[in-house]
């Protein structure tokens, strides 16, 4: 566990005791952060350039264990990662986006008493401390993109309700933990099991509100990919990203990546909790022409991520000169088939050129970085676009509107002024 950065971030001296940030201090921290910039927190030249000047209307805040991030709300904390952090393969923990549904997030976790409970339709109920998980199971590591279902929601037209995220409600990290199937096999899953549900330590502020819980079909839960993670980029999970455990569901949207995971329950009936049956649903036909006046009547829970790419360089702060080569950079990813190719247009889509995928391939669930050298012929404003194709043949293309602003993957574009 890292040494506290300041007195607001209080941790126990013994790593085995857990991480404690008193609720009073955390809420005070959050209330102060509601200002444009947290008092006494200096912005780095890079962050000031990339956040303040690029997006002058946005609020910036620093929460415990986090650097300066774009703040949508402070209670519950919703913090967005500035795009310049995606110019590297892995997103730093301190810059990783934050999304909670309720203000009652766990800020005081004692590892001496914390237990992951496993029950339901199993041969024996089990209870694990963090040390139990590390001692009893073989550790597994995967690199995977964690992307909010509503990433880029602010770009939908007509506008939809919900957190108005830009493109930074995501991150790419190296996750280490235990395979969910190993835990379930140890408990002994009943042959008639259908779903597995997951819930965390976070609590709704009112009894009438539905506790956040998600589920996976038993076959998915018993696959090799799903992890119960206790480390993120080689360190304990940050408090705001789900300490001490979180579910990692590579290739699927972040709504399934339950934070502060505390309970796993195997079910012999289909899980019908609110956050599956009512919320986080998309048109069954993802290419349906849903409009505000004609909403889809047949919906399914959101699931696997679609293919997309993002431009991360140049941005509006970069000086691009006519006749001089500049490197266009970006990232691409999908739900797990892997990226086959990326094409770039510098003339608004009239012509396309293949970009070069970086040799570093961190796996089918990771960001895949790409680049293209470009020498603008003359001073002008250029409309740069990028589109990715995955190994299943899915191509980033037309954007289909939906009432919740989910799964945005229209062709990305950026205006670049060449002088």
Do 312 and 296 fall into the same domain? Answer: no
Answer yes or no: are the C-beta atoms of 121 and 192 closer than 8 Å: yes
Do 226 and 199 fall into the same domain? Answer: yes
Do 252 and 319 fall into the same domain? Answer: no
For the stretch 120-161, pLDDT in tens is: 999 999 999 999 999 999 999 999 999 999 999 999 999 999
Is residue 53 a part of any domain in this protein? Answer: no
Is residue 86 a part of any domain in this protein? Answer: no
For the stretch 325-379, pLDDT in tens is: 999 999 999 999 999 999 999 999 999 999 999 998 999 999 999 999 999 999 9
Q: What pLDDT, on a 0 to 100 scale, did the predictor assign at position 56?
A: 58
Do 251 and 399 fall into the same domain? Answer: no
Is residue 259 a part of any domain in this protein? Answer: yes
Is residue 272 a part of any domain in this protein? Answer: yes
Mean residue pLDDT across the chain:
89
Q: What pLDDT, on a 0 to 100 scale, did the predictor assign at position 24?
A: 53
Answer with the one of 262, 279, 301 that is the final residue of a domain: 301
For the stretch 85-121, pLDDT in tens is: 999 999 999 999 999 999 999 999 999 999 999 999 9
Choice between 38 and 28, residue whose per-residue pLDDT is larger: 28
Q: What pLDDT, on a 0 to 100 scale, did the predictor assign at position 58?
A: 79
Q: What pLDDT, on a 0 to 100 scale, did the predictor assign at position 315?
A: 86
Is residue 370 a part of any domain in this protein? Answer: yes
Q: What pLDDT, on a 0 to 100 scale, did the predictor assign at position 325?
A: 97
Do 265 and 128 fall into the same domain? Answer: yes
Is residue 23 a part of any domain in this protein? Answer: no
Do 291 and 332 fall into the same domain? Answer: no
Is 53 a residue whose pLDDT tops 50?
no
Do 131 and 232 fall into the same domain? Answer: yes
Confidence (pTM): 0.90
Confidence of residue 20 (pLDDT cuts 50, 70, 90): low
Do 286 and 199 fall into the same domain? Answer: yes
Do 316 and 369 fall into the same domain? Answer: yes
For 119, 138, 185, the CA distances from 123, given in Å and listed in that order, are 9, 22, 10
Answer yes or no: are the C-beta atoms of 71 and 206 closer than 8 Å: no
Instruction: Kindly tell me the sign of the dihedral angle through the C-alpha atoms of 312, 318, 323, 325.
Output: negative
Cβ neighbours of 14 (radius 10 Å): 10
3-state secondary structure 225-290: CCEEEEEECCEECCHHHCCCCEEECCCECHHHCCECEEEEEEECCCCCCHHHHCCCEEECCCCCCC
Residue 401: φ, ψ to 5°:
-75, 140
For the stretch 230-265, pLDDT in tens is: 999 999 999 999 999 999 999 999 999 999 999 999
What single-letter DSSP state applies at residue 48? Answer: I
Answer yes or no: are the C-beta atoms of 418 and 376 closer than 8 Å: yes
The highest-confidence range among 72-76, 204-208, 232-236, by mean pLDDT, is: 232-236
Do 271 and 343 fall into the same domain? Answer: no
Parent domain of 333: 308-418
Closest CA to 217 of 226, 208, 204, 209: 226
Q: Concatenated DSSP letters for 168-201?
A: -SEEEEEEEEEEHHHHHHHH-B-TT--EEEEEES
Do 356 and 215 fall into the same domain? Answer: no
Answer with the one of 271, 301, 331 that is the final residue of a domain: 301
CATH number of the domain at 320, please: 2.60.40.650
Answer with the one of 259, 275, 301 that is the final residue of a domain: 301
Containing 26, the helix (H) or strand (E) segment is helix 23-33
Answer yes or no: are the C-beta atoms of 32 and 41 closer than 8 Å: no
Is residue 359 a part of any domain in this protein? Answer: yes
For the stretch 376-393, pLDDT in tens is: 999 999 999 999 999 999
Is 68 a residue whose pLDDT tops 70?
yes
CATH number of the domain at 218, please: 3.90.420.10
Do 208 and 350 fall into the same domain? Answer: no
Place of tokens 């444009």: 36
Choice between 34 and 129, residue whose per-residue pLDDT is larger: 129
Is residue 386 a part of any domain in this protein? Answer: yes
What single-letter DSSP state applies at residue 91? Answer: -
Domain count, the chain: 2
């Amino acid at each position: 566990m890292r040494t506290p950065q300041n007195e607001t971030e209080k941790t126990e001296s013994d790593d085995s005791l857990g991480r404690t940030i008193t609720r009073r201090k955390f809420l005070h921290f959050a209330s102060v952060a509601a200002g444009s910039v947290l008092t006494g927190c200096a912005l780095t030249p890079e962050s000031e350039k990339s956040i303040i000047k690029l997006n002058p209307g946005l609020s910036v805040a620093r929460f415990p264990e986090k650097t300066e991030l774009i703040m949508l709300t402070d209670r519950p904390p919703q913090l967005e990662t500035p795009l310049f952090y995606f110019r590297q393969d892995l997103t730093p923990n301190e810059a990783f986006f934050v999304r909670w549904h309720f203000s009652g997030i766990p800020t005081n976790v004692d590892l001496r008493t914390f237990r992951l409970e496993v029950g339901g339709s199993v041969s024996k109920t089990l209870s694990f401390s963090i040390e139990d998980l590390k001692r009893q199971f073989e550790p597994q590591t995967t690199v995977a993109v964690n992307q909010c279902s509503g990433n880029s929601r602010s770009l939908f037209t007509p506008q939809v309700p919900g957190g108005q995220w830009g493109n930074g409600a995501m991150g790419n990290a190296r996750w280490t933990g235990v395979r969910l199937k190993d835990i379930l096999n140890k408990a002994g899953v009943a042959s008639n099991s259908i779903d597995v549900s997951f819930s965390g330590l976070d609590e709704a502020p009112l009894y009438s509100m539905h506790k956040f819980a998600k589920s996976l079909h038993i076959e998915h839960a018993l696959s090799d990919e799903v992890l119960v993670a206790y480390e993120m980029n080689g360190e304990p999970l940050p408090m705001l990203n789900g300490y001490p455990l979180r579910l990692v569901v590579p290739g699927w949207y972040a709504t399934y990546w339950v934070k502060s995971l505390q309970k796993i329950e195997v079910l012999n009936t289909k899980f019908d909790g609110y956050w599956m049956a009512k919320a986080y649903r998309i048109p069954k036909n993802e290419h349906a022409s849903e409009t505000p006046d004609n909403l889809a009547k047949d919906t399914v829970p959101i699931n696997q991520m679609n293919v997309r790419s993002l431009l991360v360089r140049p941005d509006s702060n970069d000086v691009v000169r006519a006749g001089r080569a500049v490197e266009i950079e970006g990232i691409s990813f999908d739900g797990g088939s892997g990226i086959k190719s990326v094409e770039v247009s510098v003339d608004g889509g009239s012509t396309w050129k293949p970009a070069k995928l970086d040799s570093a391939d961190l796996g089918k669930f990771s960001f895949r970085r790409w680049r293209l050298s470009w020498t603008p012929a003359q001073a002008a404003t250029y409309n740069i676009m990028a589109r990715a194709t995955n190994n299943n043949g899915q191509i980033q293309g037309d954007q289909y509107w939906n009432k919740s602003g989910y799964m945005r993957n229209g062709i990305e574009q950026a205006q670049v002024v060449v002088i």
